[in-house]
Amino acid sequence: MAEELERAAAQAAALTKGEAQARLTELADLLAQANRAYYQEDAPSLEDAAYDALKRELAAIEARFPELKRPDSPSEQVGAAPAEGFSKITHSQRMLSLANAFDDADVADFVAGIRRYLGLSPEAELAFTAEPKIDGLSLSLRYEGGRLVSAATRGDGQVGENVTANARTISDIPLQLTGAPEVLEVRGEVYMSHADFAALNQRQEAAGAKTFANPRNAAAGSLRQLDAEVTRARPLRFFAYSWGELSEPLAATQMGAIERLRALGFATNDRTRRCETVEEMLAHYAGIEADRATLGYDIDGVVYKLDDLALQARLGLRSTTPRWAIAHKFPAELAWTRLEGIDIQVGRTGALSPVARLVPVTVGGVVVSNATLHNEDYIAGRDANGQPIRPDENGIGKDIRIGDRVQVYRAGDVIPKLADVDLSKRPDDAKPYVFPTTCPECGSEAIREEGDAVRRCTGGLICPAQAVEKLKHFVSRAAFDIEGLGAKQVEAFHADGWITEPADIFTLEDRYGSGLQQLKNREGWGEKSARNLFDAIAERRRIGLGRVIFALGIRHVGEVAANDLARHFGSWAALADTVDAAAPAAHAHRAAEAAELAERRAAADAGRRASLAKAREAAWADVPAAARAAWEDLTGIDGIGATVAVSLATTFEQVAERASIDRLIALLEIEAPAARATQSPVAGKTVVFTGSLEKMTRAEAKARAEALGAKVSGSVSAKTDLLVAGPGAGSKAAKAAELGIETIDEDAWLALVNDAPEGAVHGDG
**741 neighbors 661 (Cβ within 8 angstroms):** no
What is d(CA 361, CA 348) in angstroms, rounded to the nearest whole number? Answer: 30
Nearer to ligand IVH, 130 or 373 (CB): 130
List the one residue out of 423, 427, 361 whose CA is nearest residue 390: 423
Kind and range of the H or E run holding 304: strand 299-306
Nearer to ligand IVH, 303 or 358 (CB): 303
Nearer to ligand IVH, 93 or 202 (CB): 93
Residue 270 contacts by C-beta under 8 Å, 6 or more apart in sequence?
Answer: none
Nearer to ligand IVH, 303 or 356 (CB): 303
Nearer to ligand IVH, 131 or 504 (CB): 131
CB atoms within 10 A of CB 464: 16
What does 151-207 look like in DSSP terms, one character per residue? EEE-TTSSEEEB-HHHHTT-TTS-SB-SS--SEEEEEEEEE--HHHHHHHHHHHHHT
Q: What one-letter code names the amino acid at 216? A: R
Catalytic residue (one of 133, 470, 472, 711): 133
**646 neighbors 586 (Cβ within 8 angstroms):** yes
Nearer to ligand IVH, 96 or 346 (CB): 96
Is residue 133 annotated as a catalytic residue, yes or no? yes
Give the residue nearest to ligand IVH (CB). 138
What is d(CA 56, CA 7) in angstroms, rounded to the nearest whole number? Answer: 9
**Alpha-carbon torsion, ordered 541, 542, 544, 545, to 10 deg:** 60
Residue 226 contacts by C-beta under 8 Å, 6 or more apart in sequence?
Answer: 82, 83, 85, 86
Task: Indicate the SS3 state at residue 73.
Answer: coil
CB atoms within 10 A of CB 102: 13
At residue 160's C-alpha, the angle toward residues 135 and 413, to 5°, is 25
How many Å from the N-terminal Cα to the C-terminal Cα in the chain?
A: 40
CB of 246 to ligand IVH, least distance (A): 14
CB of 160 to ligand IVH, least distance (A): 11
Nearer to ligand IVH, 273 or 663 (CB): 273
CB of 302 to ligand IVH, least distance (A): 8
Binding region for ligand IVH (CB under 6 A): 96-98, 131, 133-134, 138, 189, 241-242, 303, 322, 325, 327
Kindly give the residue spans of alpha helices, DSSP state H, lying in 309-388: 309-315, 376-380
Per DSSP, 557 falls in state -
Let me know how long the chain is.
765
Residues carrying an active site annotation: 133
